[in-house]
Amino acid sequence: MTQPGRDDEPQEPRGTLRPTSARALTTCAVVGLVLGWGLHPVSVRVSGQPPLVSWTQALALVLVAGIMSYLAWHTWQTVQVRGHRLEVHQSVNRLVLARACALGGAAVGAAYLGFAISWLGDASQYADRWILRSLVAALGGLVVTVASLVLERACRTDGGEPQP
């Protein structure tokens, strides 16, 4: 028996997805920083040599940062400025990519920063090289994180609610 005033048709479920939390980003960054800082002394004790940081690693992060920045800008222009809607699968894919890259960028960027910190005060002939390359990679990780958070924000819509 139906009650007056109630629709017999079930309502379409509406879900909400919260933005990436500062807690999650901070946790990833702290874990990355500790692991990056500890990698240098542990690898020297285990293998006798520190891990190498090449320009390829650092520039790969810079490349990812550039791609994420472009994607964030393009999505912002499409959704927020022009008011166009993305296909559902495109929006979900970009949102998942943004969240994964934000967390991964925070962890990897902090790990390279920790690795650079571990070289401070080291008298090795390679210290300056590893510090510079690690700092470039850490900066790339930071830009990946920021661009990913912008992309995540750009994917936000009004939820299908009519605008006044």
What does the pLDDT profile of the chain (164 residues) look like in tens digits? 455 555 566 666 666 778 899 999 999 999 999 999 999 999 999 998 888 899 999 999 999 999 999 999 999 999 989 988 888 889 899 999 999 999 999 999 999 999 999 999 888 888 899 999 999 999 999 999 999 999 999 988 765 554 44
Answer yes or no: are the C-beta atoms of 146 and 64 closer than 8 Å: no
Q: Is the dihedral of CA 121, 125, 131, 132 positive or negative?
A: positive
Among 72, 81, 76, smallest CA distance to 99 is for 72
Contacts of 102 (CB under 8 A, 6+ apart): 20, 25, 144, 145, 148, 149, 152
How far is 155 from 143, CA to CA, in rounded Å? 18
**DSSP string for 81-121:** IS-PPPPHHHHHHHHHHHHHHHHHHHHHHHHHHHHHHHHTT
- Record the pTM: 0.83
Q: Where are the alpha helices (DSSP H) in 1-158?
A: 22-47, 55-75, 88-119, 127-154
Between the alpha carbon of residue 128 and those of residues 97, 125, 135, 155, the distances in Å are 34, 7, 11, 41
Pair of tokens at residue 28: 């990833």
